[in-house]
Structure 1
Amino acid sequence: MPPLQAALTHDPALHWRTLTTEHFEIHFHDGEETLAHEVAGIAEQTHKRLIHELNWRPAKRTQLILTDRFDFSNGSATPFPRNTMSIIVTPPRSDSAINDYNNWLDTLITHEYTHTLHLDKREGLPVGLQKIFGRMLLLFPNILQPPWFIEGLATYHETDNANHIGRGQSTQFRMLMRMESEYGIKPVKQINQPLESWPMNTVRYLYGVYFYQFIAERYGKEKVQELVEQYSDNLIPFMINSNTRKVLDA
């Protein structure tokens, strides 16, 4: 399916190949073989690091679709029907909010693989039900969290303060949050949905990463992962408030 998925959004004349590693199947088109091997190395190193930080190992290889056929920077990840990441390797522009990086591929893969592990993670009853009903969308508890919860966690993990990497430490994000503070912090019901007003969809990354950084600074870094652990066995969606109160004793 991933090579077909890639072919549907690209020039049909492209020839696709697959590079298989221990934990990934990397699908790439003509002219990307060297890049695919570079991505393979970065992806495996990212896997080794993040499986411990997020306490989760996917049961099967993650599908990774690689392309350089677009002139913008982006990526995506989904656990349904199986773990699949798509990455556009084009580096961001100098004025972009995602321009704080040392190696663009490393930052991008860290962000998207955080999504993969987070969204694929489940414990307790959802695990048993998936053995009966398969990988049904509603049996992935974390995929039903608000976008700012999901994007905030990935942005939190992409951030490396010591090396000035990631949006969680960027001067642009600090400027954006100062302006939010000056003009009024948006209520949760507003950031739970796409915004048509400034700062538009950046809000999910901005508010999300500052939320997790606040948790880490006020309650300890271990509470960030505990939020993930506690939510991963929920069958009833959208229990953000009760889950957070339980973890933080608030």
Structure 2
Amino acid sequence: MSNAAATTQGLRRPEVTGFGQAPGRQEAALQARRLALDAWRSPRRTRIALVVVGMLCIRNEVPAQYLTRPQIPWRTITTARFDIHFPAELEEWTRGVAGRMDRYAQAVSEAAGNEPSARVTVIVEDPSNVANGFALPFMEGPVIFLWPTPPSPSPTFGAHRGWGEALAVHEYAHIAHLTFPTRNPRERFLWNLLPVRISPVARKAPAWVIEGYATLIEGRMTANGRPFSVGRAAVLRQWALEGKFPTYAQLNGTGAFLGGNMRYLVGSAFLEWLQDRRGDSSLVYLWRRMSARQQRSFDASFAGVFGAGPGDLYGAFTVEVMERALQVRSRLRDAGLVEGELVQRRSGGTGEPALSPDGTQVAVVLRSPGGPSRLVVW
């Protein structure tokens, strides 16, 4: 592996994460980071208090479930930009990702218009056998968690050449996007007094922007993933036809069916639509205005780049989605395709139906968020 060296003495303690400490202190450090993340969106007068409380938590023993297993053998791979820590049992998967991480980072940083000034710590772990990952974009030491378990086949997520590629690109996109340094002298001075520094982009951007942009980059860098999935197009089209397309105020919500996915699916589609109108560099201009010497809110920064507020342009985007959905439905009907007969409308997800050999009955697993699943036959 070029530019990569592995150590076999176990996990080297990274300065920014608290991993490798006693179990209670390890989880306390994570809780401190979570408190700091909460401080991003808190009123200014409470941010300092939250960060101070977070630092105090590091000194307390906190019983909780762990995101890592410190009792097992760990290894470290060091590349030009990353310190990658992983259990020995995940070495094969990690080496495959580590060998390409620097290339991913260079391409994503060029697209986002920013590269973090500090080295990035990557923790590879599989604590729950769940496909996931997340990023902590601290200016002085960003952290990425990668969980290697791949997702189940899903039209919403789409195809990918490898789960490691899609996951690493998406999470590093968060780091590149959310570590734009502030150019405001007063803000820079005040944040330098604190133990944790957060970019103004991370503090101001709504959730749909944070996840939507990482999803957009995921598609652009890999030519796969959610932006290229049939699932994203189908969800947007069907939600529009049923009059359930999320409003701008609902983009960050999680309540309705697939509500938590809207920041990824609709958010990335809206950002692509904006780029088509104003060019690929328009989003980079937006991040720069959000971190400029002159302090601006997200809405003011957005209007300065795109000529109107996000809510207004989202309305125009919604109209175009509806127009395209109606055009597709018209073409399908003209082609004589039959949608089938509606058996029952459900408020949530169901299992894939199984048809009886004679074609007269259908068995379906009905899942409920608050109760056990049921097998029904129609």
**8 Å CA contact retained: 1:62, 1:83:** yes
Matching of residue 203 in structure 1 with residue 262 in structure 2? yes
* Residue segments in structure 2 that go unaligned for 5+ positions in a row: 1-16, 21-25, 28-64, 309-378
**8 Å CA contact retained: 1:27, 1:64:** yes
1:130 aligned to which of 191, 201, 219: 191
1:224 aligned to which of 269, 272, 283: 283
1:98 alignment counterpart: 157
Compare 121-130 and 83-92 and name the one that shifted more.
121-130
TM-score by length of 2: 0.59
1:142 alignment counterpart: 202
1:84 aligned to which of 136, 140, 143: 143
Distance 1:229 1:106, change over 3 A: same
Distance 1:236 1:26, change over 3 A: same
Matching of residue 41 in structure 1 with residue 99 in structure 2? yes
Q: Deviations over 1:30-65 (max 9, x none)?
A: 222233222212211111112211122222210100
Q: Give, in whole Å, the separation in 1 of the partners of 2:149 and 2:256.
A: 27
Deviation >4 Å, runs of 4+: 234-237
Q: Give, in whole Å, the separation in 2 of the partners of 1:37 and 1:128.
A: 40
For 1:146, give the aligned amino acid.
Answer: P
Q: Deviations over 1:210-234 (max 9, x none)?
A: 1111011122111122122211238
Distance 1:223 1:247, change over 3 A: same
TM-score by length of 1: 0.87
The Cα of 1:2 is off from its aligned counterpart by 5.0
**8 Å CA contact retained: 1:93, 1:99:** no
Other structure's SS at 1:65 match: strand
For 1:211, give the aligned amino acid.
Answer: F
1:23 alignment counterpart: 81
The Cα of 1:200 is off from its aligned counterpart by 2.0
Q: Deviations over 1:47-99 (max 9, x none)?
A: 11122111222222101001234322111001237300001111111126324
Q: Deviations over 1:167-196 (max 9, x none)?
A: 11210000110122122432222223x322
- Equivalenced residue count is 246
CA RMSD of aligned residues (A): 2.5
Q: Give, in whole Å, the separation in 2 of the partners of 1:67 and 1:178.
A: 37
